Amino acid sequence: MTTITTTNPVRSDVAAEPAPTRLRQSRSWAVTGIGAALAGIGTIVTSSAISAVYDPSLTTPEQVMAKLETQTGWMFAFHSVTALGAVLTIVFGAGLYRRLRATLPADSSLPLVAFAGMLGTAVVSILGSGLDTEFMLSLATGDGAVAPTSAVIYNHWTGTIPWLWTLAGLTGASLFVAARTHAVPRWLGRVGLVMGGLTLLLGISPFEYMAGPVAVLWLLVTAIGFTAGDKAFRQA
């Protein structure tokens, strides 16, 4: 006697589902953060080069304005690099928000706080470069549309406002808190505590313009960390 075995699937008209595939975590947002930090360095360098008002040998507004007319090239560079840096900062902040949302509890406010720090910094950068077109074109052509006293104020503006990266310190502090729950690498949390905390303290103090150099360095280290490191998250 021969036994015949047959297989009857419940739904023979439905194809078997493919095995799930692992999606590779993108690092583009972190690379963008490196670009934002480099642009921040460019902002500090170019704004420092617009230095007529800080020259002790120039004692009148007319002398300051005459010196500024020779520094318009730096003004054009300052405007472009600062505006570009602001755009890249927002992209980095959005990526960081998504990265924190993936590893923190759903009701955590840290992702929003971290993004708000980057968004606020970008807004300050845009405002810091906001007077450029009004002044640098007039100074470049020497059309006399800008009063010497106004040129002095403009130089003080470019030497202060673009350096106010105070809110970036808020993002750094958020990473420290996130690291305590193992949501990000612990060393990035320590960097956020030290450099982000110092950025906040400088921004709150009367030496607020010093927040810029510290925050730019924090952003560079952090963005490199998320780009080259963070392997545990990308492999999860």
Q: Looking at the domain assignment, is residue 47 inside a domain?
A: yes
* Contact of 74 with 129, CB cutoff 8 Å: no
Q: Which of 206, 135, 111 is nearest to 164 (CA)?
A: 206
Q: Looking at the domain assignment, is residue 9 inside a domain?
A: no
DSSP annotation of 105 reads -
213-233 pLDDT, tens per residue? Answer: 999 999 999 999 999 876 666
* CA–CA distance, 159 with 187 (Å, rounded to integer): 33
Q: Looking at the domain assignment, is residue 235 inside a domain?
A: no
* CA distance from start to end of the chain: 55
**Which range of residues forms the domain containing residue 102?**
28-228
Q: Looking at the domain assignment, is residue 86 inside a domain?
A: yes
Q: Looking at the domain assignment, is residue 214 inside a domain?
A: yes
DSSP annotation of 129 reads T
141-156 pLDDT, tens per residue? Answer: 888 788 999 999 999 9
Overall residue count recorded for the chain in this entry: 236
Q: Looking at the domain assignment, is residue 179 inside a domain?
A: yes
89-129 pLDDT, tens per residue? Answer: 999 999 999 999 998 998 899 999 999 999 999 999 999 99
37-92 pLDDT, tens per residue? Answer: 999 999 999 999 999 999 999 989 999 999 999 999 999 999 999 999 999 999 99
Q: Looking at the domain assignment, is residue 133 inside a domain?
A: yes
Q: Tell me the pTM.
A: 0.84
Q: Looking at the domain assignment, is residue 11 inside a domain?
A: no
Q: Say how many domains are in the chain.
A: 1
